[in-house]
Amino acid sequence: MAPLVLMFIAGTIRYAERTWALMTAAKSATAGSSFDVSDVHKINTYTYLFQIHKSLQEEPTYAQFVWVAGVGLDRWMQFLREVMPTLQRGTKKIKFSEEFLCNKNRVHRAFKLVEVQLSLMYDYYYTKLGARHCHLSPIVSGIPRLLTLGSTCAALTLFVWADIKGSLVNCRGADIAVSYILLNGAILLEMISNFMAISSYWAYLTAVKHGLPRGRARAIFSIVKLAHPESRCQWSEKLAQYNIVGGCIIEKQAGLLGRIIQWIGINRDTTSVDASSDLKEILLDKLLNIANSAYIDEWDFTKFHGQWARWELQSKYRLGSTAQDDIFVRTIERVDFLSSIIIWHIATDICFSDDEVCNSPFRGPSRKVSNYVMYLASKHGILVGNDGHFVLKMAQHEIVKFVEEEIGGDKKALEHWKVVKSIRDKVGKDHDLAEEHIREFPHLEVFSDVPILPRSYQLATGLLKLKEIMDPWELIINVWMEMLCYMAPHCGSGFHFNHVSTGGEFVTHVRILLLNLGLTVFLPQNSSTR
């Protein structure tokens, strides 16, 4: 009876602690709610940005990364509650040094800091570690762990003593063996749980927070490094990929079994690729250039209208508004955001198929981000608007209809790049007719009803013509990166919160990166979401 009572006490303590931690995390996760943490984690936005910039530009140790991530806890967790930390427009900007912009480790530093921040966030919302360290002293948080471990060990000791005395003679041998296994397993789980608590980032933050001697803090961090080596990535490092043309081909080829699989929710049209260092470097360098230039005051992240690509054309190639209008007006300004994604997505595929011998460093990353943005919009409905489902279905229907009419039942021709080249060749024949048709409808409502494929072809043609004066992929990557950075702050707290449990979608990493670089704290005047 005594071992049973002790195990009941241990279970009750565990259950009560878990309930309290979940309630605390749920309360702070609610949109617009306050996040009550100890004073060590409270820091104003400007000081926080200064700490971030300083840590990135110096040669920080792993321990310094963890401390910087924890010291601004209330700042960078606000985005999950849809509370945007902002600064006055006249606040002095914190710029990055030229040495950092040329540092080969800049990509690792910037994204490693984001990984640590997401890890702390995961611990807070999905385990008891963050709630313990934020709201309890080390002694108070340690008492439940000692009680549960002590109760479990005492229960095993009493059970062994009863077995030695012969008090269990009336019990079956199998029952006794199972009891030993369960009690030893419970002790093992308690020890693992305590090790996870000691080896978490939060343990080190608590040690520093409560002024432990430097030697003890280092000893704790050495344990932390065993569980979380700096070289090990803490998320999948994958980008989900959905290609609308490829998805329509799969739908066309699907038999009865394929349709059943699709109906029960298994996505055969979604794949994944590595989030390469090249892609991260392109994104980070673009954001750093904006942070260090006057564009930080001009970029309106509450809207998407191709600002980054326009700046590229103006600053590097001195192209005026006439050259820009043909590319941007019809595909960005006069259409809804989802239509803009689809048009640029198909145009990127057409350029990719037409530019097979191109060695541009932006070609591969452009297609990866194109497929990823298409995945976010089509599979998660991010920023698709009220008519997004209808717009997507109409575009898919248009592609399927093209495949049926132009390719028919030729299965060999139903390869992705053959279909894309067929779109390029056969839609191109009707280019003049489509151009005349579009000119007849200058208004957005009517222009949005013009078929997607002709507009995509015209965009691709216009982009490829730029080869004479510039690398068109440089323009394409700017559009896709701006789309990604526009979506990141507008995904909604539910999306980010749900994906923290898997290490965060790449767009979640982008969201925190924008905040770390100070690019979304200066809210443009008179701005409104598109």
Report the amino acid identity of residue 401.
K
Reported as a single tens digit per residue, the pLDDT across 281-319 is 999 999 888 877 767 667 777 788 888 888 887 776 666
331 DSSP assignment: I
**Alpha-carbon distances of 442 from 146, 277, 431, 450, 463, rounded to whole Å:** 73, 42, 18, 11, 22
Reported as a single tens digit per residue, the pLDDT across 469-500 is 888 899 999 999 999 999 988 887 778 878 88
**Residue 444: predicted pLDDT:** 40
Each residue's pLDDT, cut to its tens digit, for the chain (530 residues) gives 787 888 888 888 888 878 887 777 666 655 444 444 444 444 566 677 777 777 777 777 888 888 888 877 766 666 656 665 555 555 556 677 777 777 888 888 889 888 888 888 888 878 877 777 777 777 777 788 888 888 889 888 888 888 888 877 777 888 888 888 998 998 999 898 888 888 888 888 888 877 778 888 888 888 988 888 888 887 878 899 999 988 888 877 766 666 666 666 666 788 889 888 899 999 999 988 887 776 766 777 778 888 888 888 777 666 655 555 667 777 887 788 898 999 999 999 999 988 766 788 999 999 999 999 999 999 888 887 777 788 888 888 888 888 877 666 666 667 787 888 888 887 766 655 455 545 544 444 444 556 788 888 888 888 888 888 888 899 999 999 999 999 988 887 778 878 887 767 899 899 888 888 877 655 554 444 44
**Residue 345: predicted pLDDT:** 94
Structure tokens that stand for 92 in this block: 């002095």
What b/e string do you get for 452-475 counting C-beta neighbours within 10 Å, with b at 16 or more? bbbbbbbbbbbbeebeeeebbbbb
Distance (Å, whole) CA 370 – CA 362: 12
Q: Which residues pair with 272 in a beta bridge?
A: 240
Distance (Å, whole) CA 208 – CA 216: 10
**Residue 317: predicted pLDDT:** 64
**Residue 370: predicted pLDDT:** 95
Question: Domain map of the chain by residue range?
Answer: 238-295+321-516
Residue 169 burial (CB count, 10 A): 8
- pTM here is 0.84
